[in-house]
Amino acid sequence: MTFSGAELALGSLSGSLVGFTLGLVGGGGSVLAVPLMVYLVGVANPHVAIGTSAVAVAINAAANLANHARSGNVKWPCALVFAATGVVGAFAGSTLGKTIDGQKLLLLFALVMIVIGLLMLRKRGGEGHLDVKLSRDNLWPLLAFGFGTGTLSGFFGIGGGFLIVPALMFATGMPILLAIGSSLVSVTAFGLTTATNYALSGLVDWALAAIFLVAGIAGGLAGARLAARLSGTRGTLNKVFATMVFAVAAYMIYRSVIAMSGAG
């Protein structure tokens, strides 16, 4: 798969936008990667867009995980158990995703975007137990939620942080800061699993992934700087981003329905 210079330039712009959004509002920004690759860059095959974005998601998550680990915000035993069954789910989900018609997959992806937008509008408290440990009581919830979120992450090629964070909080009672740090173990593992599965089928464009990542790093730094200045308006930023997600999802639904109607 080859892209023109203009398409690679649009890939750089898309990576910058995703990175900027991630830096500005945190988790959830990567959900824009697939629609930007399909509708702005012009990636004709939605499966290539999903596989390529999974590479970017995994590497971005790994970089953020390193930062949280240095700060002591990762509960490794709980995080690793959650990720263990999640990797199995991500492999199953990504295998199933590759068999689904591209336009139908984009339609389902748009519906998931609406859910993510709604989750962004929810206020999440910071209370919880800082001394959370892996135990018999939380082992099975961690395994079950890990498999479920991993399957969804693999199927749609998304990081899944907005599903993983509340799942970790519910399963263990850990506060949101630890849940965010611990969730990055799974986001990295799920992204790598999905990217590998798609790459084995030739559904990853490595040049586009590299450009997307480099531009995303620059965009992320700019977004983080702006977020520091606008820290008092985080709730407003989330609302603005959620509105944008709803608009993109509506456009994706429209395009997918039109495409499927034409194919029929």
Chain segment 171-195, per-residue pLDDT in tens: 998 887 788 889 889 989 999 999 9
* Whole-angstrom distance, CA of residue 210 vs CA of residue 41: 14
- Which DSSP helix (H) or strand (E) runs through 217? helix 206-229
Query: What are the tens digits of pLDDT across the range 214-250?
Result: 888 888 788 777 766 776 666 677 777 788 889 888 9
Q: How many domains does the chain have?
A: 1
Q: Is 26 left (phi over 0), alpha (psi -120 to 50) or beta?
A: left
Per-residue pLDDT, averaged over 66-90, amounts to: 92
Query: What range does the domain containing 67 cover?
Result: 5-263
Residue with tokens 């099975």: 140
Per-residue pLDDT, averaged over 122-141, amounts to: 80
164 neighbors 149 (Cβ within 8 angstroms): yes
Output the six-digit token pair for 89. 């789910």
> Which letter, b or e, does each residue of 20-54 get, where b requires 16 or more Cβ atoms within 10 Å of its Cβ?
bbbbbbbbbbbbbbbbbbbbebebeebbbbbbbbb
Per-residue pLDDT, averaged over 17-42, amounts to: 79
Q: Is the pTM of this model over 0.85?
A: no
Mean pLDDT of the chain: 85
End-to-end CA distance of the chain: 27
Per-residue pLDDT, averaged over 36-45, amounts to: 91
Nearest in space to 15 (alpha carbons), one of 241, 217, 222: 217
- Which DSSP helix (H) or strand (E) runs through 149? helix 136-156
In the chain, what percentage of residues exceed pLDDT 70? 89
Q: Which pLDDT score, from 0 to 100, does residue 29 have?
A: 63
Q: Which pLDDT score, from 0 to 100, does residue 231 have?
A: 60
Nearest in space to 38 (alpha carbons), one of 255, 243, 227: 255
105 neighbors 207 (Cβ within 8 angstroms): no
Nearest in space to 146 (alpha carbons), one of 91, 211, 206: 91
DSSP label at 101? -
Give me the DSSP letters along 17-67. Answer: HHHHHHHHH-TTGGGGHHHHIIIII--S-HHHHHHHHHHHHHHHHHHHHHH
